Amino acid sequence: MIALVQRGSKSSQSTRKVTSKKPSAGRPTPRTLARRKAVLQRRRAELFARVIDYIPCREFLGKDAERLATVPPAAAAVPLHTNRFEPSGAAGLTPYLATLYQTRLLSKEEEQFYFRRMNWLKFRAATGRGKLDQRRATILQIERIEDWLDLAETAKSIIITSNLRLVVSIAKKFVDASNSFDELVSEGNVALLRAVEKFSFALGNRFSTYATYAIQRHFFRMSQKGRQLRSRFISDDDSFKGRAAAEPNPDYRSSDQIAMLKGLFAKFLSELEPREQQIVVARFGFNGQAPQTFRELGVSMGVCKERIRQIQTRAIDKLRDMAAAAKLEQTVGDWL
């Protein structure tokens, strides 16, 4: 009996020795730790190198900011459902372009919500990243910020998808010998993406109005560039010479158009403050004299040149708002 007990104790001791040589369960190896550290460093670098642009808004600092950017309008439950019937605007288009007309447009309330949500999520991600230590940010902190940015991209895609048909409708009007329809749609989509990033929803305007001007302006520049290229690389063939001569001169404006622009600009100037009028007229030579520098105006008005620059910036912003309200860009664009 004693021998069996001794033999059993030796057996248990050997078992314990063998067991102790095994690595503890769940403990990562040095190679795994090194790989995890490298991944963490890479994700830190990518996060802090990422550009996070958003349109600031006072609402983001309020107590209801999260609720306003999280709770959608009642009609936004299914924001991009398709129509059963194909609209007349899709006639003659490729199957891909025709599918764009099956996506309904967002209402003004939905549009405001998705723009607010997109910019608020980016604001939250940017401010959250600003509180992190670039060398000590944890994987959970990084993933939280990346989740906010992913949600912002989702809201952005909803806005873009619901406005793609706007690009198609505008592109139809600009097809010419230099710009094919497919090229215009492609370029118009790029202009639409930029417009989504630059649109300030807090002003209360509809995005379609802002995007229309942005896309048309991009198409006008494309048409102007095409005319310049044709005139620059014209051949010696008489037929091409005649075609080049027939091109309208973009610098020409009728006397009525010039008079209209002068009267409109005079009205804009009259709505500025007297000091703003003086600076704008002197800076750009509208009085028939040579334009003056910030320093020259500062000396004559008794202020520093930085103050002159600030007043000019304020005046230009006012003039830009007046031009937008008068739809000046659309009017001039129709003349091209």
Map the chain to HEC letters. CHHHHHHHHHHHHHHHHHHHCCCCCCCCCHHHHHHHHHHHHHHHHHHHHCCCCCCCCHHHHCCCHHHHCCCCCHHHCCCCCECCCCCHHHCCCCHHHHHHCCECCCCHHHHHHHHHHHHHHHHHHHHHHHCCCCCCCCHHHHHHHHHHHHHHHHHHHHHHHHHHHHHHHHHHHHCCCCCCHHHHHHHHHHHHHHHHHHCCHHHCCCHHHHHHHHHHHHHHHHHHHHHHHHHHCCCCCHHHHHHHHHCCCCCCCCHHHHHHHHHHHHHHHHCCCHHHHHHHHHHHCCCCCCCCCHHHHHHHHCCCHHHHHHHHHHHHHHHHHHHHHCCHHHHHHHHC
Residue-range domain boundaries for the chain: 49-232, 253-335
Q: What is the mean pLDDT of the segment spanning 156-182?
A: 89
Higher-confidence residue: 28 or 336?
Answer: 28
pTM score, whole prediction: 0.60
- State which of 44-53, 98-107, 258-267, 287-296 shows the largest mean pLDDT: 44-53
- State which of 31-45, 72-86, 219-233, 318-332 shows the largest mean pLDDT: 31-45
pLDDT higher than 90, residue 80: no
Confidence of residue 46 (pLDDT cuts 50, 70, 90): very high
CATH 1.20.120 fits 49-232, yes or no: yes
Task: Please tell me the predicted confidence (pLDDT) of residue 307.
Answer: 86
Q: Which of 106-110, 203-207, 234-238, 279-283 has the lowest mean pLDDT?
A: 234-238
Q: What is the mean pLDDT of the segment spanning 265-286?
A: 85
Task: Please tell me the predicted confidence (pLDDT) of residue 15.
Answer: 46
Task: Please tell me the predicted confidence (pLDDT) of residue 334.
Answer: 58
Q: What is the mean pLDDT of the segment spanning 31-35?
A: 90
pLDDT tens per residue across span 280-316: 888 888 777 888 888 888 888 888 888 888 888 888 8
CATH architecture of 253-335: Orthogonal Bundle (1.10)
Task: Please tell me the predicted confidence (pLDDT) of residue 101.
Answer: 79
Q: What is the mean pLDDT of the segment spanning 86-112?
A: 77
pLDDT higher than 80, residue 194: yes
